[in-house]
Structure 1
Amino acid sequence: MTILVTGATGSVGRHVVEQLLERGQQVRALTRRPDQAALPREVTVIQGDLTRPDTLSATLEGVDRLYLFPVGDGAEAFVERARRAGVQRIVLLSSSAIARRFDFSEATAEHHLAIERVVEASGIAWTHLRPGWFDGNALTWAQEIRAEGVVRAPHGAAAQALVHEADIAAVAVKALLEDGHAGAKYLLSGPETITRVEQARAIGRVIGKDVRFEEISPDAFRASVRGALPEEVIEMYLGYWALAVDQPDPVWSTVEDVLGRPARPFQQWVAEHASDFA
């Protein structure tokens, strides 16, 4: 069986590729820059861009199943190509923003919901993955922690049910390879909520360094990332963190229900990435 992984060099896609290889599958990876992909040699790497259909002529030839990264522009044309090519199953990386709305989340929710609807309308068997905040988002703190042992951020009391990217991938691989997941919309979280202050402390414990959380105002955060992030993304982040102060993220049991084992805690992710912070 040949499985195409789009977004194969992303934080979830890399895990999907690795776990499919461990299960003995033939993996084809789509990326815009094959020369920078750094994927295992067993992977067939194909150059292409989901937003440019003219680059995708041979991408789906002989593909049985598809892991789809949520690119908006071009999604409808690509899914139609998948249908014509005989793809039997699609697992879509979506977002929990669809189910948990907050200030300025509408654009993100509608973006993902639109792609879900495209996939559902294709007639191909589908599974949607709706993860929350990724563990790997903590890497945005790495430079400050290395240099000063500090995290400067707003809403330190925001309680997040962070999800490990490898767990998202493991659920994706289950849905790609095994029956019983068609039509599912899986909300994915980690096993517990942990505040942003506690996240900083957890990193410090792992690297053996005192890491303090320095609360800054939303306006100070806006100023620190303006130009690096779109305005709507900045406001979405602030809206989410503010909500999570008063309404902690829900902890969903989906990872354990699907995989038959507990979801990985944030501390495990930190241990795996300690060198990024030390």
Structure 2
Amino acid sequence: MTVLVTGATGFVGRNVVKQLVEAGVRVRATTRRPEAAHGLPDGVEVAGADLERPGTLETALEGVGALYLFPVEETAEEVVALAKEAGVRRIVDLSAASVSVGLHHNPVETVVEKSGLEWTHVRPGGFMANMLQLWAPSVRAERVVRYPFADEPMNLVHEADIAAVAVRALLEDGHHGRAYTITGPASWTVREQVAAIGEALGEPVRYEEVSRERARELLKAQGGFAAASADLMLGFADYDGGAASGEDGYSDQDWSALERPWPDLEQVLGRPGRTYADWARDHIGDFR
């Protein structure tokens, strides 16, 4: 069986590809920019395709039995229809834990469920890797992190664990019709996260608490992902990118449900999730 991995150069997608190859599966990986596919394992077939232009996926879907679907709402119906027509039997889609607690509706899930194919939703909480793109530049340059929310707990999940759940659902029976909420094994404050990065480096990393407004200025100046995600990460915009902070109608109780560990990851994998300290050690090269 060939498994098609869309969004294959993203944090989760790269890990899905790697773990499928380690399982001995034939993998085809799609990306809008094939030149960005460096670092994927040997033997992976890379196909240039764009989920925002579904027609570009037709060739990539040939001979595919299972599909890991990165969510693009605007074209989900057409992409899933093409997959079904091509003979795909199973779809595992990347969603979000906010769906599990009623904070967000993901139309991609609805499309996948209505397809008549085997489906599994993988709903991760906040990615540990998001902070990599926000903090790594200042850690590399100055051994410092400037960010608000010093002592607010965050339950974050390792991208390799999200991928591991997705891979099980792609390769094993028994996951059809399930929605897995994937969290880390414990919450970590920003202060604790920075300390873990310093411990992994074996050098002190200073934490300077700044206001949300100042953090926003710093991230916007940094450019790239940091600039693009600053409003969302700092609470100036809600998950859907619409309402301003405090105007989204969500209660603190809703959000607190995502701060506790959920059991799904351990039930699927038979082990606890990786900790933030594990993640920091795995990414030591990025911070150094």
State if a TM-score over 0.5 links the two structures.
Answer: yes
The separation in 2 between residues aligned to 1:232 and 1:268, in whole angstroms, is 28
Corresponding residue of 2:242: none
1:256-271 paired onto structure 2 within 5 Å: 256-271=266-281
Q: Tell me if 1:156 matches 2:150.
A: yes
The separation in 2 between residues aligned to 1:47 and 1:87, in whole angstroms, is 19
Corresponding residue of 2:237: 235
Q: One-letter code of the match for 1:14?
A: R
Q: Tell me if 1:116 matches 2:109.
A: yes
Contact 2:144-2:205 at 8 Å conserved across structures: yes
Contact 1:50-1:73 at 8 Å conserved across structures: no
Deviation of 1:124 after TM superposition, in Å, equals: 0.8
Root mean square deviation of aligned Cα: 2.2
Deviation of 1:126 after TM superposition, in Å, equals: 0.4
Query: Which moved further from structure 2: 149-158 or 164-173?
Result: 149-158
Runs of 5+ unmatched residues, structure 1: none
Q: Tell me if 1:83 matches 2:84.
A: yes
Candidates 254, 259, 273, aligned match of 1:249: 259
Q: One-letter code of the match for 2:163?
A: A
Match of 2:146, SS?
strand
Q: TM-score, normalised by structure 1?
A: 0.89
Runs of 5+ unmatched residues, structure 2: 240-244
The separation in 2 between residues aligned to 1:231 and 1:256, in whole angstroms, is 32
Deviation of 1:158 after TM superposition, in Å, equals: 1.9
The separation in 2 between residues aligned to 1:81 and 1:175, in whole angstroms, is 21
Candidates 130, 152, 173, aligned match of 1:137: 130
Corresponding residue of 1:7: 7
Cα deviation, 1:89-141, whole Å, max 9, x if unaligned, reads: 0000100121346xxxx6xx23xx11111111111110000101111122121
Q: TM-score, normalised by structure 2?
A: 0.86
Deviating above 6 A after TM superposition, structure 1's stretches of 4 or more consecutive aligned residues are 237-240
Deviation of 1:40 after TM superposition, in Å, equals: 2.0
Match of 1:60, SS?
coil
1:1-278 paired onto structure 2 within 5 Å: 1-38=1-38, 39-100=40-101, 109-110=104-105, 113-139=106-132, 140-226=134-220, 228-229=227-228, 233=232, 234-236=236-238, 247=256, 249-278=259-288
The separation in 1 between residues aligned to 2:5 and 2:281, in whole angstroms, is 27
The separation in 2 between residues aligned to 1:275 and 1:36, in whole angstroms, is 19
Query: Which moved further from structure 2: 172-181 or 53-62?
Result: 53-62
The separation in 2 between residues aligned to 1:243 and 1:151, in whole angstroms, is 26
Aligned length: 268
The separation in 2 between residues aligned to 1:158 and 1:180, in whole angstroms, is 37
Q: One-letter code of the match for 1:165?
A: E
The separation in 2 between residues aligned to 1:142 and 1:230, in whole angstroms, is 15
Cα deviation, 1:189-234, whole Å, max 9, x if unaligned, reads: 1111111110001111111222222111122223333472267635
Match of 1:123, SS?
coil
Instruction: State, as a whole percentage, how many aligned pairs show the same letter.
Output: 50
